[in-house]
Amino acid sequence: MTEKEKMLAGMEYSATDEELLRELNAVKEVIHDYNLLRPSDRDGKLQLLKQLLGHIGDDAIIINQPFYCDYGKQISVGRRFFANFNFTVLDEASVTIGDDCFIGPNVSIFTACHSTDPVERNSRREWARPVTIGNNVWIGGNVTILPGINIGDNVTIGAGSVVVNDIPSGSIAVGNPCRVVRTL
């Protein structure tokens, strides 16, 4: 298997693989172009997002600039999706976001995992876990979503939360670590 195939399969892989580094740099070029577009250039932004992302649903509102991601193709967003400024997605694994989701400013979604052992971490070996966000989810500003998290439908995640565990459908969850405080 190639290192990319290992990465996409959730296996340990080398983050310094030449093929992966070339792809990361190519995506950075597209991201650079996206972030330099005029805010009023909706068609240009949509065109670059369709080139960059694995899937973008109909009636997607848009992703405000600046936007950052690693690979892009592992990101799927549903219908009427909106993300505010400084949306960052480390998509070494799939990131699936449902319909009618709203992402506040400075939200980060991480799929990449690294060893807590410094010797292992310095080997530049890592692995990735997918993140799934259901339909009708609102994620407040400055939220961080960690690898392997599933957020159900009809959920609100409060600003500043760090999501370290799955959040069930019909919940309002807040805090660090993020926890359910109310069920709808």
Q: Which residues are catalytically annotated?
A: 114
Residue whose C-alpha is closest to residue 96's, from 52, 58, 64, 53: 53
Beta-carbon count within 10 A of 144 CB: 17
Kindly compute the dihedral angle of the four CA atoms of residues 129, 28, 141, 76, in this order, to the nearest 10 degrees: -50
Q: Under a CB-based contact definition with an 8 Å cutoff, are residues 141 and 104 in contact?
A: yes
Residue in this structure with the two tokens 């449902």, named with its chain if needed: 98
